[in-house]
Amino acid sequence: MKKQIFCTMDTETFGGVVSPKGIYHLGGIIHDGQGVMYATFNVLIAEHFDQIAIDSYAKQNFDKYLEMVCFGNVTMIDTEQNAIAFVQSLCDFYSVTTMSAFNSGFDFEKTACRTLLEGKEFVDIWLLALQTIAQKKSYRQFCLDNEFCTQSKKSCSTNAQTIYAYLTGNPDYKEEHTAFEDSLIEMQILVKCLAMHKKYNKNVHCFNFPQSRGLFPPYK
């Protein structure tokens, strides 16, 4: 039986979350279901680098990206197309079977990374976490104790930051919101979910899964 190899990745985009205009940062890990890592990638896209400083959301991390470049902690690739081709080549080399991302509907539907799904299955880590970790009584209690809830206050927060805070027992944890660092925590969430050996759905984005509405733990 062919071993399941994952590519867990994250994207940072400019132009808003509804209709992003492009990717400026790609990060990810190629790993197995137990979290053994085979390769990592941390890519800044040169053609969009100037957008980081002027985008209303991205500019908060501009200094971090300058630091990455100055210290050589990131690979610069000229175009978005070539950056995605680079990730594809890594996936081919390591025989990746499964792409994964937290809120895969964004990374693989609203960006050019959709081409990375061709010939592979995918896992939406958000949906996976809803079907596993978020169903634990201790998770809901953690959210109640720390006032982690959605804006409507009808359900507990289930974003990657809150789930990782629960897994690490650190309610003060804050996501960095850079692609590579976020992909690291998303991989750990994925591995923890898989270790629970619960049934979960593949090849469907959370927002396209009608039953997901019943999976959000109530806040009140």
- For the record, the structure tokens of 144 come out as 């109640």
Mean pLDDT of 30-39: 98
CA distance 42 to 66: 14
Q: What is the pLDDT of residue 1?
A: 61
Check pLDDT > 80 for residue 2.
no
Q: Tell me which residue of 146, 184, 185 sits closest to 168, measured CA to CA.
A: 185
Check pLDDT > 80 for residue 75.
yes
Q: Number of H helices and number of E strands within the chain?
A: 8, 6
Tens digits of residue pLDDT in 42-69: 999 999 999 999 999 999 999 999 999 9
CA distance 201 to 89: 27
Tens digits of residue pLDDT in 87-97: 999 999 999 99
Q: What is the pLDDT of residue 220?
A: 84
Mean pLDDT of 196-206: 97
Separation in Å, CA 131 to CA 127, 215, 216: 6, 7, 9
As a whole number, the mean pLDDT across the chain is 97
Tens digits of residue pLDDT in 155-194: 999 999 999 999 999 999 999 999 999 999 999 999 999 9
First-to-last C-alpha distance (Å) of the chain: 45
